[in-house]
Structure formats: structure tokens, C-alpha cells
Chains A and B, each alone.
Chain A
Amino acid sequence: MTLLEIKNLSKSFGGLMALRDLSLGIEEKTIFGLIGPNGSGKTVTFDCVTGFHRPDRGRVFFQGREITGLRPNQIALQGIGRSFQITGVFHNLSVQQNVIFSAQDKRVLRNFQSSFQASRGRPPQAMEEKIEQLLDFTGLKELKGEVASKLPHGVQKILEFGSLMLMHPEPILYMLDEPFSGLTQNELVRYLSLIRELRSRGKTFLLVEHNMRAIMDVCDWIVVLDYGEKIAEGPPREIQTNQKVIEAYLGTPA
């Protein structure tokens, strides 16, 4: 089943055409890569799908339902989790608070009410267990009380990823924007194994990345953008040898 369907997406800023008539479809339970030179429109695509920009033309469907033009919080509630190029964590909160936030109910009146209940809004037993499991799974257990801004960059990225997992409802599609940038080799291996583990649990991934080795290693299918257009798509092996792709990155020989 096509989980995410992007049809004829176009977006321009001022006079600059960032996306031209982009169409692509992501099958469920795949790890999908979106690559291209800087400025080719990868993050813009993410922004249009997740509601940070309204596309000029085109439509986006998730699980068959149209999500074009919805706001980011509404899209999150559909089951899409998205990470950011600039690591999205809550800097002054601890690791545990970061994770609890993702997991808890997001409705303001509900939260206000629960402040004054006997439980003081502490997460129910089931959620506490899930949080512990997550901290184990991502290797963050020892760092529970650390303030996020004090964590090394790679750990922050893992924290960001981990909090996505606990979102409520749980994401079916993970859209990760340059998740591997700045990671050490060990951290990268860890992150990749987490992704593969989740895929085996039936999740779908859309990755934007510049780290070619990692992308070619983990993705099932890759789409290449250049100047806002799709110039190639296929399995990694084909993409690696595709002439148009090589030219887009390296330029045509003089």
C-alpha cells in the first residue's frame, strides 16, 4: 500500500522555484531515501508534507487521506513523526522530560485538569513502562536526568529520534531530516540499527541525508532531486551508477 503519496507538488519562494511538479510514492514498511545536492528542495518537500509551508500546487495523501495544507500538529496526530536538521530537542528539559512530553496528551485543558488531580498528572503505569523501555532501547537510560543541552550532539539526535517513537499516536511514518549529520561512526551504527529494528516492526522511513554510504547502505529505494525536480529514482545500486545523478552532484565534465 502506498503510505505517502505526493502528487505534483510545486512551491516557490519569492521568485525562486524550490519544487517543480514533484511526484513520488512511498510504500509502507520501506526505508526510503531522498537525496540531492544542496538547495535541491529536500527540506522544502519535508516542510510541505508536514505543514510548515503550504504548497502552491499539488496534493499530499497519507494512508489514502488528503493531508495537504494541514498544520504540523494535525499532521503529527495522523501518525507522521518528523525530525529536523537543527536537532529538535527541548534544551532546558532533561532527557526524561523530553521523552515524557512526547508521550503525554497534548490537549491543554486536559493537562490543566490533570495538574490538580491527586496523581498530579504523573503518567499512568503503562506509559511509565513504555518510557523506561524506550530509554533502554535507545541506550539513554543512564542519562535520564541530564539536561538536553548538555548532551553531546550525537546523543541529542538519538534523543530526538527516541521521542518520536513515543509520540501519541505512535508514528507510522518517520520523516528524518539529516539524522546522521555530525554523528560519530559508533553513533551512526547505533542509529542505523534502531531504524532497522523499527522497520522490522512494520514502520516506514523517509530519510533526507548527505551521508551517501549510510543512505546506500540502509535504503530500499532512493529518489534524487535536483533544482526541485525528480531526476532519478530506483534501488541504491542503480542510483549509484546513474549518469544524471553523478552530473547533478559533480557537474558535467568540462
Chain B
Amino acid sequence: MKIWKLILLIAVGLLFPLIGKEGYLTHLAITILIFSILASSLNILMGYTGLVSIAHGAFFGIGAYTSGILVLRHGLPFLAALPIAAAFTGLIALGIGVPSFRTRGVYYIIVTIAFQLIASEIFDSWYAMTGGGLGLRGIPRPGEIAIPGIGLLSFKSKFGYYYLVFTFTLLIHLGIRRIIHSPLGVSLMAIRDNETKALMSGLNPLSYKTFIFVLASALAGLAGSLYAHFLEFAHPDLFSFFVSVDLFLMVMLGGAGTFFGPPFGVFILEMIREFLHEFVALRLFLYGLLLILIIIFLPDGLLKPLSQLGHRLRSKIFSAKEGSGDFTGN
């Protein structure tokens, strides 16, 4: 991808809060960024390695609750709680992942669903730890840091928190991009395309699957920590089976196995959510229809056909300029 596009994106990202300030737009942007981390991490699992998981919401939640509890009840600073939460989530993923890879295909998806439901039930029922159906309230925002040359950046404000999340999102996506274009990326895609052949080429699928599952889940846990401290609240409904399906839809809608697809999918679905904010049932109904339509007609996602359309339009415009004559037919 051309470097100027990257710079443009980063610039837009950096300047955005100057428009949004403390308003709802910034709130929305933060949500989109956090969900992009979730979608992209799910994508390396689903789109690049071929491991369809409906448990990502659960790991999102584990990270959120862990971080919230560490700061709220044990007084850890945010910058310590975040990595611990991510690492702990990765550890749980290790425990559930390794045995689950003995299963294949639909059975594997079912195992992830079962795990998601177990996690949801624990979030809901372990009142002492998670606050159960009431949720975990009062999770504090991190404080402030001093940036040389700019001054004090407070994360207590939306403005400041935006930059925190933006930094993480950027770094994580750069890292994911590196992985995709590396031998690791090729190996994961090989496992996705033909695991038997990968096996016969000397690769051990179990070690790769374990590695990527732990990595993706740890990233989800990290996103959870960011989310919990943003909302200052955690609740089982935020990390449920339906959230996992949401994430799945985001990846599919944008295009599994592409780099920009999932964040695009996040954007589209968040826009739909905003539009239909009051009409939850209608929105979910549309999600259901969307799932069916996408998988039948656009299994590669929305981004690819849209960008191809964009290319075609662009070339039409350019050829019209160079073309013979003008519009009057001379």
C-alpha cells in the first residue's frame, strides 16, 4: 500500500479529535478504534488462519473485567493493569485453545461458542468478582502523562483517551500488517488453505494455531481493558454471544483475509448502529439478514467489490478526459 495513504490515515486520525473534541463524535471514534482492534485480531485468526471463532467477545470481556478489577479493587495503575489483563487473557486462551484444536470444522466453531457461553455465564453469575448482572461500576480512567513539547495530556477526558486508544490501535495494526507480510503470515495462510500439505511440508499446525490464538485473544483482552476504562463500566451484555457474532459479521462484511476489510466492516456496522440507535430489534434483524446476504452473495466482503467499483469509476473519469472529443460530440 502506498505510503502516502498511510500518512493520510494517520494524519486524519491524529487531527480528528480537534473536530470531535469532547462530543459524541469522539466517543464514537474511540468505539470504532477499539472494535477495530477486535476485528483485526479476529481476522488474523479467521481470515488468515482459518479458525472461525465465536468466542472473541468472551476474551474481550475477560480482559475488560480483569483490568477493571485490578485497578478498582487492587489499586494497580492502568499501565500495569492493561498488560496484565492482556497476558491473563492470553493465558486463558492457551488453556482453552490447545485442547480445542483437536476438533475440526463445525465442531471447532461449536467449541468456541460453548466457551463463549460459559464465559458469559461466569460474567453473569460470579457476583463477588464481576458484579453479576449489575456490572462492574466505577472503573477509573487512567490519569495523565506529560508529553514533552505539548504539555499535560489527561486521559480523563475523551480527547485524551482518544489519543491513548489511537496509539494502541495504530501500533497493533502496524504489527498485524508486519505479521501478515512475513513468513509467519504465509505459514498461517498455508494452514488455512491446505493444512494437510502444510503438515507434510514440515510445519506443526498445533504450534501455529496455539500461537495465533493466544496472540489474537490477548489483543482482544487488551481491547477489553481499553474499553472498560473508557466506559468506566463493565457488564456481561457487552461481551456476550451476540457481541461475538457482531465481531464475526464485521470481519465478514469488510472482508476476511484482507487488511483493511475488518476495520471497514467495523465502520459500516457502527454507522448502522448509530442510525438505528433506538431500534435495537430492527438493527439486529438487519444484521441477521446481512449475514445471510453476505455469505451468499459477497463472501469476500464489501470492501473489495466497492474498491473495484471505485477503480472502475476512476478510470472511466480519466479516460473521458483523455478520450476523443468532448460531450457535444465533436
Least CB distance from A11 to B in Å reads: 18
Most chain A CB atoms below 10 A, which of B182, B185, B211: B182
Chain A residues near B187 (CB, 8 Å)? 101, 104, 106, 108, 111
Flag if A101 contacts B186 (CB, 8 Å): yes
Chain A residues near B203 (CB, 8 Å)? 73, 106
Chain B residues near A97 (CB, 8 Å)? 186, 189
Least CB distance from B311 to A in Å reads: 18
B324 on the interface (CB 8 Å rule)?
Answer: no
Least CB distance from A15 to B in Å reads: 25
B202 on the interface (CB 8 Å rule)?
Answer: yes
Interface residues of B in 213-258 (CB under 8 A from A): 257
Known A50-B200, A101-B201, A108-B211; judge A92-B183 contact (CB<8 A). no
Least CB distance from A233 to B in Å reads: 26
Chain B residues near A101 (CB, 8 Å)? 186-187, 190, 198, 201
Question: Which of A24-32, A82-90, A178-186, A246-254 contacts the other chain?
Answer: A82-90
Most chain B CB atoms below 10 A, which of A71, A91, A100, A106: A106
Interface residues on B, range: 20 to 34
Chain A residues near B186 (CB, 8 Å)? 93, 97, 100-101, 104
Least CB distance from A127 to B in Å reads: 11
Query: Residue on A with the closest CB to B212?
Result: A108
Query: Residue on A with the closest CB to B194?
Result: A90
Question: Which of A54-62, A112-120, A132-140, A219-227 contacts the other chain?
Answer: A112-120
B199 on the interface (CB 8 Å rule)?
Answer: yes
A173 on the interface (CB 8 Å rule)?
Answer: no
B204 on the interface (CB 8 Å rule)?
Answer: yes
Known A73-B202, A108-B187, A121-B184; judge A88-B197 contact (CB<8 A). yes
Chain A residues near B179 (CB, 8 Å)? 112, 115
Q: Is the interface of B mostly helix, strand, loop or mixed?
A: helix
> Complex formed: what's the CA distance from A146 to B199 in Å?
23
Most chain B CB atoms below 10 A, which of A50, A72, A93, A120: A72
Known A76-B201, A106-B204, A108-B211; judge A88-B182 contact (CB<8 A). no
Most chain B CB atoms below 10 A, which of A73, A102, A163: A73
Chain B residues near A109 (CB, 8 Å)? 211
Chain B residues near A71 (CB, 8 Å)? 199
Count A interface residues, CB 8 Å. Answer: 36
Flag if B182 contacts A77 (CB, 8 Å): no
> Complex formed: what's the CA distance from A101 to B257 in Å?
18
Least CB distance from B281 to A in Å reads: 38
Complex partner residue of B204 from A73, A92, A93, A167, CB under 8 angstroms: A73
A105 on the interface (CB 8 Å rule)?
Answer: yes
Chain B residues near A90 (CB, 8 Å)? 189-190, 193-194, 197-198
> Complex formed: what's the CA distance from A120 to B196 in Å?
27
Least CB distance from B209 to A in Å reads: 9
> Complex formed: what's the CA distance from A179 to B252 in Å?
36
B101 on the interface (CB 8 Å rule)?
Answer: no
Flag if A104 contacts B183 (CB, 8 Å): yes
Complex partner residue of B202 from A89, A93, A167, CB under 8 angstroms: A167
Flag if A114 contacts B189 (CB, 8 Å): no
Most chain B CB atoms below 10 A, which of A97, A104, A168: A104
Query: Residue on A with the closest CB to B179?
Result: A115
Complex partner residue of B200 from A72, A91, A112, A121, CB under 8 angstroms: A72
Most chain B CB atoms below 10 A, which of A52, A72, A92, A108: A108
Flag if B211 contacts A112 (CB, 8 Å): yes
> Complex formed: what's the CA distance from A106 to B208 in Å?
10
Flag if B196 contacts A114 (CB, 8 Å): no
> Complex formed: what's the CA distance from A167 to B211 in Å?
23
Query: Residue on A with the closest CB to B193?
Result: A90
Flag if B183 contacts A72 (CB, 8 Å): no
Flag if B182 contacts A73 (CB, 8 Å): no
Proximity bits, A133-166, B CB within 8 Å = 1, else 0 = 0000000000000000000000000001001000
Chain A residues near B207 (CB, 8 Å)? 108
Flag if B202 contacts A114 (CB, 8 Å): no
Least CB distance from B28 to A in Å reads: 32
B277 on the interface (CB 8 Å rule)?
Answer: no
Chain B residues near A105 (CB, 8 Å)? 183
Query: Residue on A with the closest CB to B203?
Result: A106
B102 on the interface (CB 8 Å rule)?
Answer: no
Complex partner residue of A120 from B178, B194, B198, B204, CB under 8 angstroms: B178
Query: Residue on A with the closest CB to B197?
Result: A88
B5 on the interface (CB 8 Å rule)?
Answer: no
23 interchain pairs (CB within 8 A)? A72-B200, A73-B200, A73-B204, A76-B200, A76-B202, A82-B200, A84-B200, A88-B196, A90-B198, A91-B193, A93-B190, A101-B186, A101-B187, A101-B198, A106-B203, A106-B204, A109-B211, A111-B184, A112-B179, A115-B182, A115-B185, A163-B201, A168-B202
Binding site for A on B (CB under 8 A): 175, 178-179, 181-187, 189-190, 192-194, 196-204, 207-208, 211, 257
Other A-B pairs beyond A73-B204, A84-B200, 12, CB < 8 Å: A71-B199, A84-B196, A91-B193, A92-B189, A101-B201, A106-B202, A109-B211, A114-B182, A114-B184, A120-B181, A160-B197, A168-B202
